[in-house]
Every structure is written in structure tokens, then in C-alpha cells.
């Protein structure tokens, strides 16, 4: 695991920057923190990380669709990991900011739908500060940009994906936001089981290659303004 830097710490939540870290190692850290949070040993925590090329599969096997075989992924150096989060296949690589909140929803009197809405709100806040107007799509979790006039998700481009897991109402997994990552990795999957959708990034939309440390600083501001105090 790469070194950890605490970006923000107050009475309700701490934000830890893991830098670039292996997906499997980060997953083990999430589950360890999730267990400690259930026991009241740690406060609510947000992990920020960039992963090497990795494709992850969710619990819904019917939407875990790969466009290439596993041998091809091995050849390209893309790790393939099965997880217990919701949703289907998604992808991570450098330039994508991944946010893993370990949050006790009971302490915050928050239902799951409210929590997903909160994640989307934090993402919308960050993207707005980066010059991108992102939107929710009813029935399609995550964040989208572009024309919403069509009837399906193919009328917009997806810029952020959400998949979560709960253990005793404590969360793990979270949200991945495309900042300046190579979008070709998404051609290896059917993202979230949605045929025909396109992915985009902040860099593709704005033409600006933001410094990731500045992106994280802006994210912390969004988190602090939207994550209500919890016990």
C-alpha cells in the first residue's frame, strides 16, 4: 500500500489520500476500516485513490459483461477483480479519482437511497468546480453529461460511476469520477451492463488537464459542505 496522507480531519469525518494504490490492497483496507467502524473504533473515513488499470465485477452477474476475454486482459496488464458491491462491470485507471467512503449510515440517520443521492451531490459539486455540468439520470445511477433529451442513457455520456456495499449499515466501495484517465479501458467492458453508452472525462469535456492534488482539494471542500456531522 502506498503512503497515506490525511487531507482533512474533523469531529465527523477524515479524508485520507492513498495516492496510487493497488485495487486489491485498497479493498482489504476498506473492509478492515468497515469492520472497525462497525465496532466504533474509527470515525467515518473517506479514502481517495487512483488505481492501476483494473476492471471490477459487481454482484449482478447478468450485467458483468466483458468485451474481451480474461487472457487478453492479462496480456494488456489489466487486473480483473470480483467484488461484493452492487452494479456490474466497471473500470479504473490512473487519472480517475476513486472515492471510498466508510460511513455509518445509522449514525447519520440516512437511508441507502439518500446516501447514493449524497454521493451524486458531492460528485456534481466537484465537477461543477472543474467546469463540467453533470446530471443525474433516473434509473441510471452515477453522473452524466450532455443532452438529456433522449429516452435512454445512450443520449448522454457517463462521467462517474457508483457502486456500494453495506455491512451493518456501514458503507464500502463508492464512486469513481473520470478526471483525465485513458477512456480506452472502458472498451473492454459493457459499462454497468448498459449497451451503447459512451464514457467521458473532465479533460475530454473541458480540454483542461487538472492537477489531481487540486482536484482532491476541491473534493474535500465539497465533502465538508455536504456530509452532515455524524456520531
User: Which residue among 33, 160, 192, 197 is the active-site one?
Assistant: 192
What tens digit of pLDDT does each residue of 1-50 get? 556 777 766 667 899 999 999 999 999 999 999 999 999 999 999 999 99
Q: Are 76 and 67 in contact (CB under 8 A)?
A: no
Share above pLDDT 90 across residues of the chain, in percent, rounded to a whole number: 73
Q: How many residues comprise the chain?
A: 231
Confidence of residue 193 (pLDDT cuts 50, 70, 90): low
Query: Rounded to whole angstroms, what are the CA distances from 196 to 145, 152, 153, 158, 183?
Result: 15, 10, 8, 11, 15
User: Helices then strands (H, E): number in the chain?
Assistant: 5, 12
Q: Is 192 a catalytic residue?
A: yes
Strands of the 79-82 sheet, one edge to the other? 79-82, 54-57, 90-92
Q: How far apart are CA 105 and CA 102, in angstroms?
A: 9
Q: Comparing C-alpha atoms, which of 45, 56, 225, 195 is closest to residue 129?
A: 225
| pLDDT at residue 77 is higher than 90 | yes
More confident residue, 210 or 137: 210
Q: Are 139 and 147 in contact (CB under 8 A)?
A: no
Lowest-confidence pick of 5-9, 163-167, 175-179, 200-204? 5-9
Q: What are phi and psi of 70, to 5 degrees?
A: -65, -35
Confidence of residue 192 (pLDDT cuts 50, 70, 90): low
Please tell me the CATH code under which domain 5-226 is placed.
3.30.930.10
User: Containing H/E element for 92?
Assistant: strand 90-92
Q: How far apart are CA 17 and CA 3, in angstroms?
A: 8
Q: Comparing C-alpha atoms, which of 103, 98, 104 is closest to residue 53?
A: 98
DSSP string, 36-87: HHHTTSS-EEEEEEE-SSEEEE-S-GGG--BSS-HHHHHHHT-EEEE-SSSS
More confident residue, 227 or 116: 116
What tens digit of pLDDT does each residue of 133-170 get? 999 988 788 999 987 555 555 568 999 999 999 999 99
Q: Comparing C-alpha atoms, which of 112, 70, 56, 95 is closest to residue 202?
A: 95
**DSSP bridge pairs for 178:** 96
Half-sphere exposure of 89 (CA within 13 A, CB side): 22
Amino acid at each position: 500500500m502506498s503512503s497515506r496522507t490525511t487531507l482533512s480531519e474533523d469531529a465527523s469525518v477524515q479524508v485520507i489520500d492513498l495516492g496510487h494504490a493497488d485495487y486489491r490492497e485498497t479493498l482489504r483496507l476498506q473492509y478492515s476500516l468497515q469492520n472497525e467502524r462497525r465496532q466504533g473504533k474509527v470515525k467515518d473515513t473517506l479514502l481517495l485513490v487512483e488505481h492501476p488499470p483494473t476492471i471490477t465485477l459487481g454482484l449482478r452477474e447478468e450485467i458483468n459483461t466483458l468485451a474481451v476475454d480474461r487472457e487478453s486482459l492479462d496480456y494488456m496488464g489489466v487486473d480483473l477483480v470480483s467484488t461484493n458491491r452492487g452494479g456490474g462491470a466497471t473500470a479504473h485507471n490512473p487519472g480517475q479519482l476513486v472515492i471510498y467512503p466508510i460511513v455509518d449510515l445509522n449514525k447519520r440517520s440516512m437511508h441507502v437511497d439518500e446516501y447514493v443521492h449524497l454521493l451524486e451531490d458531492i460528485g456534481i459539486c466537484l465537477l461543477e468546480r472543474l467546469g463540467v455540468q453533470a446530471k443525474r439520470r433516473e434509473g441510471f445511477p452515477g453522473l452524466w453529461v450532455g443532452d438529456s433529451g433522449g429516452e435512454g442513457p445512450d443520449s448522454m455520456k457517463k462521467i462517474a460511476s457508483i457502486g456500494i456495499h453495506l455491512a451493518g449499515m456501514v458503507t464500502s466501495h463508492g464512486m469513481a469520477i473520470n478526471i483525465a484517465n485513458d477512456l480506452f479501458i472502458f472498451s473492454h467492458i459493457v459499462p454497468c451492463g448498459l449497451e451503447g453508452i459512451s464514457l467521458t472525462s473532465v479533460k475530454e469535456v473541458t480540454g483542461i488537464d487538472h492537477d489531481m492534488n487540486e482536484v482532491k482539494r476541491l473534493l474535500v471542500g465539497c465533502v465538508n459542505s455536504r456530509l452532515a456531522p455524524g456520531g
